């Protein structure tokens, strides 16, 4: 009889121990879930399309304008074709031709009439005003955004490759400077083999690459 009593007590003790362990581990699981949830909603910072402090904003560029503690005014918007932007509490503001810092300073001056000590940050998130053009025997001819330090070879890679009729030795770059048009040769095979790296010219806005 005593053996049965001891056996029953042992079973009850094991059951109680398992219950305590389960209860002790439950909060840890919830805590981990909370950590994952918190990480999943982290706000990603706005990424600038260019870090050049002297970049001149142009029409169609996308701007992120942040007015500190004023979410009703802060927004992301494109520069209109006339070179201006519109913000709440302000009339049209000229953006094209200014650097992000210059535009931020002008917005601050205008906001001082309605806000106390406004703080404004302007970031160019997309560069759409500066374009280059690729024509001829490529998969996707057309206009492309000019990326910082973009070269002829990099631009051609954006066009999806060449057609079977492309003359890779006779590619050329058309550029207009000071009212005069230049034609700069680009021999694709020589450039990728490392023989004529000087032909892999750094592009400027308005350049046209022709693949005959």
Query: Rounded to whole angstroms, how far apart are CA atoms 79 and 63?
Result: 7
Q: Which of 28, 109, 107 is nearest to 75 (CA)?
A: 107
Residue ending a domain, choose from 126, 146, 180: 126
Other Cβ atoms closer than 10 A to 201:
18
Residues 121 and 173 placed together within one structural domain of the fold = no
Residues 81 and 103 placed together within one structural domain of the fold = yes
Sign of CA dihedral 192, 198, 204, 206: negative
pLDDT in tens, 130-168: 899 999 999 999 999 888 789 999 999 999 999 999 999
Residues 148 and 102 placed together within one structural domain of the fold = no
Q: What pTM does this model have?
A: 0.60
Residue 53, domain member (yes or no): no
- Which range of residues forms the domain containing residue 101? 62-126
pLDDT in tens, 43-67: 567 888 888 888 899 999 999 999 9
**H/E stretch holding 38:** helix 2-40
Other Cβ atoms closer than 10 A to 157:
10
Q: Reply yes or no on whether the pLDDT at 181 is more than 80.
A: yes
């Amino acid at each position: 009889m005593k053996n049965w009593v001891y056996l029953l007590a042992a079973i009850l003790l094991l059951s109680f121990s398992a219950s305590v362990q389960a209860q002790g581990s439950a909060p840890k699981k919830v805590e981990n879930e909370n950590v994952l949830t918190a990480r999943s909603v982290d706000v990603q910072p706005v990424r600038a399309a260019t870090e050049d402090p002297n970049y001149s904003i142009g029409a169609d560029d996308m701007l992120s304008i942040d007015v500190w503690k004023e979410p009703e005014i802060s927004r992301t918007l494109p520069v209109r074709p006339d070179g201006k932007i519109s913000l709440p509490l302000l009339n049209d503001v000229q953006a094209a031709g200014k650097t992000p810092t210059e535009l931020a300073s002008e917005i601050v001056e205008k906001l001082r009439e309605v806000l106390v000590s406004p703080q404004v940050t302007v970031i160019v998130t997309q560069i759409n005003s500066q374009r280059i053009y690729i024509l001829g025997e490529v998969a996707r001819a057309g206009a492309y955004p000019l990326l910082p330090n973009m070269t002829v070879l990099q631009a051609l890679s954006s066009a999806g490759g060449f057609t079977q009729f492309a003359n890779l030795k006779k590619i050329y770059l058309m550029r207009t400077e000071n009212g005069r048009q230049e034609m700069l040769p680009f021999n694709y095979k020589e450039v990728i083999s490392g023989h004529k790296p000087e032909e892999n010219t750094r592009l400027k806005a308005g350049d046209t690459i022709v693949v005959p």
